[in-house]
Amino acid sequence: MDLLPDLWRHEYWLPPGITWRDMEQMQECPRPRDLLFTLPLALGFIVLRLVFDRVVAPPLGRYVGLRNRLRMAVAPSTKLESFYTQQNRQPSQSDIISLMAQCDKTQRQIETWFRHRRNQDRPSYTKRFCEKSWFWDQRECWTGYPQQPIERAHFWYYQLELGFYLSLLLCVSVDVKRKDFKEQVIHHIATIFLLGFSYCSNYVRIGTLVMLLHDSSDFLLESAKMFNYGTGWRKTCDTLFVIFAAVFLVTRLVVFPSKIIHTTLVLSMEVFEPFAGYYFFNILLMVLQALHVFWAVLILRMANKFLFLGKLDKDERSDEESELEEEEDDKGEGEEKEEEGECCWERSKDALNSKLKMLSKSFVLKNLTNHRAAIVSKMRKAR
């Protein structure tokens, strides 16, 4: 923050009455300098992408699923269960000695029982994700704002997402350019600013919801594109596209404006007064929503073709030059086939003429030979 101090004035980034010093006094507070870590992450994503494209993707033929860990079942014990639920989940040494006398068990057996019992109460990966109160009640996104501690999982989620989008922006010049090339660049820039600002202003909770909403459909699109380029996966590709279209339209056109934008635009005003960052953040969300509408139109076009034609011929985002090149390639292939057919006919015609000439010569020669034999026969009889 020592660089460009005017840019980092707390009036721009934080609600009225809150300064950067107040934020630094809080433990596990998101700090702007943490975002510098995303630069090497972006380069790492680029390297990872190259390795994936050249090494992992070609032999990819199976999928990996997330499974919850198996947990040991505990032996039923009324006294131990009563102590666990009513007194303490982690008994002290004196408690263990008392339980040994009551249950006629060794210290190791009691410690093992409590360890397995605690494992049973641990939430699964899915439950851990869904138990966040602010995931279901968006008002909780602003409880205690801006002095909200950031969890390590959210810290790494931000770092990885921001590094990923930086890598996309750095690689955009070498990627295939489509009709939505400009929109893609705008999307990447808006997302990077959105993630960076939300982290610095501790909009981490609402920022996490924005990332989850986008990630819920993006992987379906990439999977559909992967199967689209393969052979014999047409039904899989079409199925994934239908699922992607439904998820995209619901999350981007319904959930995003009604939940996310409403939360940042309206519900946040219950906690603090508007400041510069409030307007900046909501403008970026509006930009993303406009891009959502643009891509929704393209998806609906593809869905319309899918419903009436029964298949997906091409990506609606393909640019006109690519389409012309494909048409020229198809036309060129047709002309080549016609030329090959004409050449084959000419060769067949020449071979047929050659055979006819040989037959005619043989027929004439045979007639001459027969005529000569007849003349010789007549001359012999005349003598």
Query: Is the confidence at residue 100, as pLDDT, over 70?
Result: yes
Would you say the pTM of this structure is higher than 0.85? no
Residue 129 pLDDT? 40
Torsion of the alpha carbons at 185, 187, 188 and 191, rounded to the nearest 10: 160
Cα–Cα distance for residue pair 198/208, rounded to 1 Å: 9
Top-confidence residue, 159 or 79:
159
Query: Is the confidence at residue 256, as pLDDT, over 90?
Result: yes
Select from 248, 109, 267, 129 the least CA-distant residue to 203. Answer: 267
Cα–Cα distance for residue pair 123/129, rounded to 1 Å: 9
Q: Can you read off the two tokens belonging to residue 339?
A: 């030329």
Query: Is the confidence at residue 186, as pLDDT, over 70?
Result: yes
All structural domains of the chain with their residue ranges: 5-67+123-309
Residue 58 pLDDT? 64
Cα–Cα distance for residue pair 337/340, rounded to 1 Å: 5
- Name the pLDDT band for 62 (thresholds 50, 70, 90): very low
Cα–Cα distance for residue pair 115/99, rounded to 1 Å: 15
Residue 286 pLDDT? 93
Above pLDDT 90, what percent of the chain?
Answer: 9
What are the pLDDT digits (tens) for 3-34?
Answer: 566 677 777 777 887 887 777 777 677 777 77
Query: Is the confidence at residue 308, as pLDDT, over 70?
Result: yes
